[in-house]
Structure 1
């Protein structure tokens, strides 16, 4: 029988990239959803007869339940996840259907993790945070951690050129992430951190070189300490190219009144203006991404540092690789991890490397 995959929010740039990846690496029948006939008609993917489009709003619970029941894997790409409840995951557990998502905010991750025991009891594998960051980045960390007798510090740095090839939803995610202070695991305790603070200049591989990154609230800030208990510090920092976007974002985070940043209309305005601006600068900067994972720890009785670097020319495309590869492994029966878990806990390093190699992704490793 043909495997069936349901991609919620599949008309967006991330969802479309996931669909393309699955069409390339599996023989699955793919159903892509949109909230209206207009959005569905606006999708143009060279996927042939293996893809079909379904008009579906997540608020249509009965229709959603039926679509999930008719699927082997459900992939949730309908962000921004700041606003989402865990109803899709809950229905997947009730229907016994494996689940994957591209969630990227700690509020949603926390909601999803609350369903771990229910998913485990139902034999459902639900893997969250599976895009590029979080996602591939977390698996890079796991690979680095495994090099040590005792890993002690994780430092993740992300850099995106312009829009990264993504849509307005990703812009919303960025500005929503500036609304509140958050807790980070530093020196063995939870400390409050201000978003887009403590600029740090990181050496990324070409074509980026030295670029500024700032504290940013990501799910891995709290999932990685849980996955790797010996680690005493987890740092997650994000930056943009060109650099003037960083300074504009800093002003938004530290100068704009908090009450203004917490208005949905403000987020919408900033998101659309930013996306318009990146449409211009993308011509000069490209839409790529760089991820740098640096692990410090004890190896053979000495302190050592293991660094991993990844660069890709299109952020949306490689996000599709991260999520699509997880779905592929579930369909093939190579990955089974009942419960709700972040990707770094569910995906073994050998399967991660196999998936990346099959997609032509090269990750550079070196000891510092």
Structure 2
């Protein structure tokens, strides 16, 4: 019997990338949703359903007819966990591309209900968070005792994503956040403490800044020996970093807390990146450094990833998890971030199957 996948928010850049990945790697019947009628479907196996997440009865019916739900309808700063709750009630497995700690915290509260229902729910499955978290797990497993995680992300222009991702960036500048540093929670200002990181060519040494990501708090939980988790983000070209810094530190806080301001900044930024994409491309670089003890000595294990299209990389991250669930290769009832759900051998299998190369070296 053909398996059925429901992709909420499937018309967006990330959602459509997930759909394309699943169409390439599975035989599933794919239904994508959006709030307004779709004009054209690019794959004959895709169906389209007009659906607003506020239409609970229609949402329940759509989920009940699916074997797997993939939640791509961000920004997740604004989302409750109702989709996950319905999936658990209907006994349907769940994957999402969530990227904010507020949503991740809400989702993880449903762990026991999901486990009791036999539902596997995996959150934070894109590129960062997502593939980046599995790179960290791979690194942690190299050590007798892992002590520190330093994650750095770099995106060229728009990354091939839409306005929603721009909204996510500016929403992440609204509030200070807690980070796990030296074995205790410390408050950090968003887009602060610029640091030059050596990414793989063509990027080279480029600036990154503190950014609030769910892995800031999920990684210390997954790996209890870790005393410090640093998550930093930067953009190419570099003048975007300076503009974002000004937005985070100079703009009045009351202004940044208005939804209209976020919408304005998101659309202006998307317009600008449409221009600069022609020069910078839309790629992504991820660098994961894990420090720890191995054979009585302190070492650093580095993992680097490059992809020419950020949205496609996110689609591969989420699509690969969805594929494993559909094939029965991943079965872990409960609600988990990807680093707790996906073993390293399966991670290595999925990146190889998608031609994603991760480079490793010791420092």
Give the TM-score category using the shorter length: over 0.9
CA distance in 2, matches of 1:106, 1:357: 29
Aligned twin of 2:104: 109
Q: Are residue 6 (structure 1) and residue 1 (structure 2) matched?
A: no
Question: 5+ unaligned residues in a row in structure 2: which ranges?
Answer: none
Aligned twin of 1:214: 209
Are the aligned partners of 2:156 and 2:237 in contact in 1 as well (CA < 8 Å)?
Answer: yes
* Paired residues for 1:1-368 under 5 Å: 1-37=1-37, 40-41=38-39, 43-45=40-42, 47-48=43-44, 50-368=45-363
Are the aligned partners of 2:41 and 2:47 in contact in 1 as well (CA < 8 Å)?
Answer: no
Residue 175 of structure 1, CA deviation: 0.1
DSSP 3-state at the match of 2:279: helix
Residue 216 of structure 1, CA deviation: 0.1
DSSP 3-state at the match of 1:83: coil
Residue 357 of structure 1, CA deviation: 0.3
CA distance in 1, matches of 2:86, 2:35: 19
The two structures have a TM-score, normalised by structure 1, of 0.98
**Residues 28-65 of structure 1, C-alpha deviation per residue, up to 9 Å, x if partnerless?**
0000001011xx22x542x22x1100000001101100
Residue 180 of structure 1, CA deviation: 0.1
**Residues 291-331 of structure 1, C-alpha deviation per residue, up to 9 Å, x if partnerless?**
00000000011101000000000000010000000000000
Aligned pair count? 363
Are the aligned partners of 2:72 and 2:97 in contact in 1 as well (CA < 8 Å)?
Answer: yes
Residue 112 of structure 1, CA deviation: 0.3
**Residues 97-124 of structure 1, C-alpha deviation per residue, up to 9 Å, x if partnerless?**
0000000000000000010000000000
CA distance in 1, matches of 2:105, 2:253: 24
**Residues 64-103 of structure 1, C-alpha deviation per residue, up to 9 Å, x if partnerless?**
0010000000000000000000000000000000000000
**Residues 124-148 of structure 1, C-alpha deviation per residue, up to 9 Å, x if partnerless?**
0000000000000000000000000
The two structures have a TM-score, normalised by structure 2, of 1.00
DSSP 3-state at the match of 2:196: strand
CA distance in 1, matches of 2:88, 2:55: 18
Question: 5+ unaligned residues in a row in structure 1: which ranges?
Answer: none
